[in-house]
Structure 1
Amino acid sequence: MMGTRRADLRHRLGRVVSNPWFKAIATLAVLGFVLYWLRGQMPFFAEGFSAVVRPHWGWIALSLVFSYLSMSSYGSVQKILLGSAGVKVGYWESVGLVFSANAFSTCIPGGQVFGTTLTYRKTRQWGATRVVASWQLVISGVLSTVGIVLLALLGFFLVGTVSNPFLLVLSALGLVGIVVVVQWAARNPDRIEGVLLSVLAWVNARRRKPADHGAGGVRKVVEQAEAVDMTKSQLSKAFAFSLLNWVADIGCLWAAANAVGAQHSIGGLAIAYVTGKIVATAPITPGGLGTVEFALITALTAGGLGAHQAFAAVFVYRIVSFILVALVGWVVFFLFYRGVADMDPDKDDDGDGRPSADPDAPGGPADGGDPGEAGTTSARLCPQNHANPPQLSTCRFCAAPLDGAATRVMRPSLGAVRLSTGMFFDLDRPLLLGREPRVDAADAESAPRLIVLPSPDKAISRTHLRVDIDGWAVHAVDLGSVNGTYLRRGAAEEVRLMPDEPKMLMAGDVLVVDDVRIRFEDLP
């Protein structure tokens, strides 16, 4: 019995000790105790606090401006990257999301995961596909890494640690080369697809699977990646704003140092700043609280600042760039983005970027979309054998009463489709439309009709749009296209279809794909 209780106690203690909140609170408690014990041992703390309580308020105001400029620059990076994929986002929306995600990343244990998740979900709600939303996060991270490494090299050069300008230029060219490769990859998905399919065939051969096993998934990812059409101008702007994000944050540290009268060098500040950012990547405490301060003070002191000046400068810098920015982020989150955390845009996906079937949606069992033999549907027949949706009481063709029960029949034509290119055909099976539509494994069973849409300038994606037939319901699904699909219904304003979200069509609806108009006639 005692052995069981001890084992249970050890298990509970293990769960408490492994809890990230316990780790964070314990670390902060130890740091607080050490500072309290050292307050009388190291007089620079008292001198530092004396400078903090009597700062130069003009420099404090400038540090606030730099801090906002840093956050807004990152918001501009996000806006440009999403815009290159056809996702239009306002400046304030993007900056607000950056502030909110930063609040999560810096204030709670494991917050970087929560901040990234918040950004991903909101960009999905803005209309980005899964691939584009993830791509934006990765590319912004790459640009940030390149930028901070360049600043570190510049800092070492300014303090004389790196004295060879050729080495500095060579390193900078190497980092810029990474950015160029990213831009090439974004503009040449076709070539990347060939390489990926070759690698996949090689892997499948060694796993003794068909050569095209998983090829549909690869093509789907590349198809969505085609939505990214980043120009050199857009990439240059994104990189410039990414670099400005770091430069402005160093400017905040510079203004904080001036606010407390610290004598400093730009190179020393840059090196100390990069050191603090590296330490912050180790998630010991939320926002690196305690560890970042220690790293900054140590680096600034090594760079020539007095200990009390370094302490005062770091104290003011962290109040502005950490505490105040986090508070603003939480206010913005609770005012504008609180609902995002509870919404998962991928929860209805079947793994291919498409929402799974909803039994209560139009076209479900209530609308004659019940499961049955492929190519058949549930219908009520009039005396003339016209097939009608089960919910109708009179024939939609001859107005005869429908007295009999519903029965399964071969799926009839649900109407007609007329294209502005002159093409006209019956809607008797699903459609795949694009400049080079292809059938993957997910579509093969439905045997869709392939409709080629002319697009000399490649404004239309290869497989741009899918039209599904579910019972008596017709749905249009934009497949994460570059320039989107728009629905024109009556006199209402055109609306853009959300990627991978089915939109039920009605008689007279017109889908607009670049310069091509697709009209649906005589739908049930």
Structure 2
Amino acid sequence: MVTVAILVTLRDQLPDLGSLLTVWQELDLGWAAAAVVAGFVSQAAFAEQQRLLLAGLGVRLPRDSAIALTVSGAAVSMAVPAGAAVATAFTFRTFRRYGATTPVATAVTVVSGVVSMLSLALLYAFGWLISSDLETVPWRPAVIALAVAALGYVLWRFRTALSPSPGSRLGRFVAAAARTTAEMAAIPSRRWFSIFTAGLAKWVLDLFCLAAAATACHATLDWWRIAVIYLGIQIVRQIPLTPGGTGLIEVVMLAALVTAGCSHPVAAAIVVLYRLISMWLVLLMGIPAYLWLRRDLR
């Protein structure tokens, strides 16, 4: 219903099919190929993040199987209602079948999501800082660092008073978080750098996929504006109204590109190309990836 409402609102901005085909006929195939490669390597980077987490806890997950798991899990999350929860359960069971204990599989599943969100937050923070006028506001990064340090000290200083009772729901959550932290403490510190690098690479490559798709369609926008649109779309992606954000992401991205200065046909061509790579190609690869996993597990 939400998608239909947005489509009705934007019906006057949707281009005719002839204009869209004209843009596609002039597509820069080199940049389109770069977008496809970036989209695939983005999935591989997330797979490497999970593989490194498991390896740090003594569980061997082959690199090709890690990629197959990531692609099939992403396909599940895009294809079914409540796909994120279903994909998480599928990933957890696969970790167990590769030899991870229940605490290790739980810890990796949770921490992998946390690393991914922290990497995205780091990308947001980096964009915010470089877009700020640091000459006129030189104290902004220092204030942020001091605020984080002060909050950390307060939480540590009053950690006993803030501890909930063990029998409460919050107490059980804290206990589970403590177990996860204990599992993660076994991972060498130098490996964490590789884990966070893989997590950040996932988002940067996906952003490059969108920027390459826009360049392939001869968009007049600079890459900085495309990055702003991309980061905004990641917020929309978290709204679980449709599987994989189908419909919602497309219409919001179309509106953002048109507002930023793209013509309607070019904006529509960018949306179609990016979603073909980031969603429909993943869905097509999902079944072969799942079959590869089944064969490997045998």
Shorter chain as denominator, the TM-score bin is: 0.7 to 0.9
Which residue of the partner structure matches residue 103 of structure 2? 131
Q: In structure 2, what is the Cα distance between the partners aligned to 1:69 and 1:176?
A: 33
Q: In structure 2, what is the Cα distance between the partners aligned to 1:122 and 1:258?
A: 38
Q: In structure 1, what is the Cα distance between the partners aligned to 2:249 and 2:139?
A: 29
Q: Which runs of 5+ in 1 are unaligned?
A: 1-25, 182-194, 207-213, 341-524
Which residue, 72, 87, 105 being the options, matches 1:115?
87
Which residue of the partner structure matches residue 141 of structure 1? 113
One-letter code of the match for 2:271? V
Gap change, CA 1:227 and 1:244, over 3 Å in 2: closer
Which residue of the partner structure matches residue 306 of structure 1? 263
1:163 aligns with 2:133: yes
Which residue of the partner structure matches residue 276 of structure 1? 233
Judge conservation of contact 1:73–1:245 (CA < 8 Å) in 2. Answer: yes
1:93 aligns with 2:50: no
Task: Map Cα deviations across residues 17-70 of structure 1 (whole Å, 9 max, x no partner).
Answer: xxxxxxxxx666x379749x93xx447444344213441111111111101110
Normalised TM-score (structure 2): 0.80
Q: In structure 1, what is the Cα distance between the partners aligned to 2:262 and 2:143?
A: 29
Secondary structure in 1 aligned to 2:285? helix
Structural mapping, 1:35-74, within 5 Å: 38=11, 41-42=12-13, 44-46=15-17, 47-74=19-46
Work out which of the two has the higher radius of gyration on C-alpha atoms and give 1 or 2.
1
Which residue, 277, 285, 288 being the options, matches 2:245?
288
Task: Map Cα deviations across residues 63-101 of structure 1 (whole Å, 9 max, x no partner).
Answer: 111011100000000011111111111111111100010
Task: Map Cα deviations across residues 230-279 of structure 1 (whole Å, 9 max, x no partner).
Answer: 12211110000100000000011011001111122222112211211111
Query: Post-superposition shift, 1:336?
Result: 2.7
Q: In structure 1, what is the Cα distance between the partners aligned to 2:207 and 2:229?
A: 9
Q: In structure 2, what is the Cα distance between the partners aligned to 1:32 and 1:169?
A: 38
* Farther-moved stretch of structure 1 (147-156 vs 231-240): 147-156
Which residue, 76, 100, 103 being the options, matches 1:104?
76
Judge conservation of contact 1:56–1:260 (CA < 8 Å) in 2. Answer: yes
Judge conservation of contact 2:65–2:292 (CA < 8 Å) in 1. Answer: no
Q: Which runs of 5+ in 2 are unaligned?
A: 153-158
Q: In structure 2, what is the Cα distance between the partners aligned to 1:299 and 1:261?
A: 17
Which residue of the partner structure matches residue 235 of structure 1? 192
Which residue of the partner structure matches residue 254 of structure 2? 297
1:266 aligns with 2:238: no
Task: Map Cα deviations across residues 86-145 of structure 1 (whole Å, 9 max, x no partner).
Answer: 111111111110001000001111111110001000101112122211111221212211
Number of residue pairs the alignment of both structures matches:
282
Q: What's the C-alpha RMSD, in Å, of the aligned pairs?
A: 3.7
Query: Post-superposition shift, 1:326?
Result: 1.7
Which residue, 316, 322, 344 being the options, matches 2:279?
322
Gap change, CA 1:55 and 1:282, over 3 Å in 2: same
Structural mapping, 1:410-489, within 5 Å: none
Q: In structure 2, what is the Cα distance between the partners aligned to 1:292 and 1:60?
A: 20
Judge conservation of contact 2:42–2:203 (CA < 8 Å) in 1. Answer: yes
One-letter code of the match for 2:106? S
Which is bigger in relative contact order (C-alpha 8 A, separation at least 6)?
2
Query: Post-superposition shift, 1:293?
Result: 1.3
Which residue of the partner structure matches residue 493 of structure 1? none
Q: In structure 2, what is the Cα distance between the partners aligned to 1:125 and 1:234?
A: 24
One-letter code of the match for 1:267? W
Normalised TM-score (structure 1): 0.48
Give the helix-richer structure, 1 or 2.
Answer: 2
Secondary structure in 1 aligned to 2:69? helix
Identity %: 27
Give the strand-richer structure, 1 or 2.
Answer: 1
Query: Post-superposition shift, 1:203?
Result: 4.7
Judge conservation of contact 2:254–2:268 (CA < 8 Å) in 1. Answer: yes
Which residue of the partner structure matches residue 76 of structure 1? 48
Query: Post-superposition shift, 1:300?
Result: 2.7
Which residue of the partner structure matches residue 156 of structure 2? none
